[in-house]
Structure 1
């Protein structure tokens, strides 16, 4: 079954896509990665998404408009990818409601009816809500894919995704959680100061110096000491949060970015050291920031940092590949959550299904999910886990 995964993360800069042809054989699931790509949001839509994110107010009229406009953008991205059997759309997270360490609700916009109408293909969507309803954090869902990828690695290993928020999956502990911001605060600082979406190749941060006083203030954030399972987002780590913390110091933009990169490196590395990980498979946009990666390597206690590309998963597309996998699992009646990672009361079948053209026809349900994963790319280079 060829499944298109669509994902827009906390950086809200556009839609990542991945087509994977999934084939089960006993307890091994093989995925041939046929396409990965990115579909940038139009600048006006990106501005509207940013304007509706916390702590900014957004009325129901704007929520309705964004649900439609994001859905239409996802439909554009899906149409550009070509024909598939199924689409799994994450949508755009606009609010993740956490109180007292418990996720109480989560909202992703991007009306799937627009995708189904445009493509004629069934769409799985709204994947986080069921895990939250079962007492989970609704994140990081990617831990299901991570544990399959890590299964065959020697020694204590983990998987790290550096998007807007950083999340870590620890194989031997069977746990996963958001460690804190990855690029969220850095991107907010760059956007406010220059209008650019991010610090390309970490060039500004490379010319700055870490300010220990601000770094210590930022590290005092209680979230970092909260026990997992836990999740966070731009509801906490947003521009207003950064302004309140950084304004007394009056730093230049390069010094501020160097300090924020150190914040990400310190908070992630503390968790890598705590679990005594020897190998960490790294994905997400942060992999392309050499300043962040160098700081992380220096603090990670000797852990080997391996780009996920080496396991057949393009670093920029891992989450889109994960959602392709979740769509396949849902279509086959299989749960796609790990209770020890999200905190849910049990594994759950995720998402709702919007039919495409004609009758909705799903495969026969499978009795059990895969225990191992084999991924290959179009170039024929294998990435084997398990």
Structure 2
């Protein structure tokens, strides 16, 4: 089955589409993924400005939400049409859309609700293909955190690797999945990945930069230790897993509050300090798990300063590599993960890992929007696959 995974993360800068050929082996124990490629498209500048202006803690209206839902849905649909043509030769069987998270409602450590915009009807209408979307609410309704949903895919991918393997994604928010030597898998958000870095670069340059390209600003600075200690005092870092967070907490106003009344560092020093914050909080989260291998993905892996700081923060015995080594490009891993989740949903299989999210049990996730043809569901496999194997792509 050829499945397109559509994803836009907490950096809300672009939509990614990754195409995968997915098959279950004869036993149903192993799901095999052959990457077919990835395409990406930035949000239109006007849409991105409207999205940024509506995100918490900014006030917004239901009219704004409706317009964003349509604008994001059409952006996803446009990229899906292109990806179907360029990556699947017009033969896509299913599209799985994560949508754009605009609010993740956390109260007293419990997720009460989550909202992703980008109505799947736009994608189904434009492509004619069935679309699975709205993955997170099913886990939340079952008492889970609704994130990180990639925990199930990471667990399948890491199973069988030696030692204590962990998968790390550094997007706007950083999250990890680990398979401890004893006990059950664990997955949670560690804290800000690029969120505060992007906010600082944007404000310090008057909007000229959306992020610290290649860590160039941070590379010129030095860590401001008093500010780092102040940032590390954030209570979120000491909450037990499972836990999730987002830009509802780590937004530009949060950074302004931390800096208020403090000895404000230079812009390079501020970026160096925030880069160290991300590296430190990730390493602190991994340390109790005794991870022996960390497989990183996401936009943060393209920041050499961040990766160098993370390497320095991790124990010497811990190997740090990227998901490219497993056959999944760092920029596309989450889009591939949602392609897998869509495949599981279509086959009536659970898409959450209760040990990771805290849900009461396994749940089939998402809602299904039919395409133009009559919808035919495949037979449900006798069991859910326990392992994910990535095969070499054609000509790779």
Same fold per TM (> 0.5)? Answer: yes
Instruction: Note the alpha carbon deviations across 1:173-213, whole angstroms, 9 max, x for none.
Output: 41100000010000111122222221111111100111001
Equivalent position of 2:230 in the other structure:
217
Shift in CA distance, 127/182, structure 1 to aligned 2, threshold 3 Å: same
How far 1:380 moved relative to its partner?
5.0
Correspondent of 2:56 among 22, 46, 54 = 54
Correspondent of 1:65 among 59, 64, 67 = 67
Instruction: Note the alpha carbon deviations across 1:325-354, whole angstroms, 9 max, x for none.
Output: 001000100001100100000011000001
Correspondent of 2:210 among 197, 209, 212 = 197
With normalisation by structure 1, the TM-score equals: 0.97
Partners in 2 of 1:377 and 1:233 — Cα distance?
34
Determine helix, strand or coil for the equivalent of 1:62. Answer: helix
| Aligned-residue RMSD, C-alpha | 1.0
Q: Is 1:86 equivalent to 2:88 in the alignment?
A: no
Determine helix, strand or coil for the equivalent of 2:352. Answer: coil
Structure 1 runs (4+) deviating above 3 angstroms are none
Determine helix, strand or coil for the equivalent of 1:315. Answer: coil
Q: Is 1:185 equivalent to 2:196 in the alignment?
A: yes
Correspondent of 1:359 among 358, 374, 389 = 374
Partners in 2 of 1:358 and 1:90 — Cα distance?
22
Q: Is 1:236 equivalent to 2:249 in the alignment?
A: yes
Determine helix, strand or coil for the equivalent of 2:166. Answer: strand
Partners in 2 of 1:90 and 1:246 — Cα distance?
34
Instruction: Note the alpha carbon deviations across 1:54-90, whole angstroms, 9 max, x for none.
Output: 1111100000000000000000110111231000000
Partners in 2 of 1:17 and 1:105 — Cα distance?
26
Unmatched tracts of structure 2, length 5 or more: 85-89
How far 1:250 moved relative to its partner?
2.0
With normalisation by structure 2, the TM-score equals: 0.95
Partners in 2 of 1:272 and 1:306 — Cα distance?
15
Determine helix, strand or coil for the equivalent of 1:233. Answer: coil
Partners in 1 of 2:83 and 2:293 — Cα distance?
34
Partners in 2 of 1:193 and 1:210 — Cα distance?
17
Q: Is 1:330 equivalent to 2:345 in the alignment?
A: yes
How far 1:249 moved relative to its partner?
2.4
Determine helix, strand or coil for the equivalent of 1:204. Answer: helix
Equivalent position of 1:384 in the other structure:
none
Determine helix, strand or coil for the equivalent of 2:331. Answer: helix
Equivalent position of 1:44 in the other structure:
46
Shift in CA distance, 337/13, structure 1 to aligned 2, threshold 3 Å: same
Equivalent position of 1:154 in the other structure:
162
Unmatched tracts of structure 1, length 5 or more: 382-386
Shift in CA distance, 29/380, structure 1 to aligned 2, threshold 3 Å: farther
Partners in 2 of 1:380 and 1:324 — Cα distance?
21
Structure 1 residues 273-284: aligned runs within 5 Å: 273-284=287-298
How far 1:379 moved relative to its partner?
5.3
Determine helix, strand or coil for the equivalent of 2:332. Answer: helix
Equivalent position of 1:264 in the other structure:
278
Partners in 1 of 2:391 and 2:211 — Cα distance?
31
How far 1:300 moved relative to its partner?
0.7
Q: Which deviates more from structure 2 when the two are superposed, residues 368-377 or residues 143-152?
A: 368-377
Partners in 2 of 1:14 and 1:134 — Cα distance?
30
Equivalent position of 2:126 in the other structure:
118
Q: Which deviates more from structure 2 when the two are superposed, residues 113-122 or residues 144-153?
A: 144-153
Shift in CA distance, 359/379, structure 1 to aligned 2, threshold 3 Å: closer
How far 1:95 moved relative to its partner?
0.2
How far 1:16 moved relative to its partner?
1.1
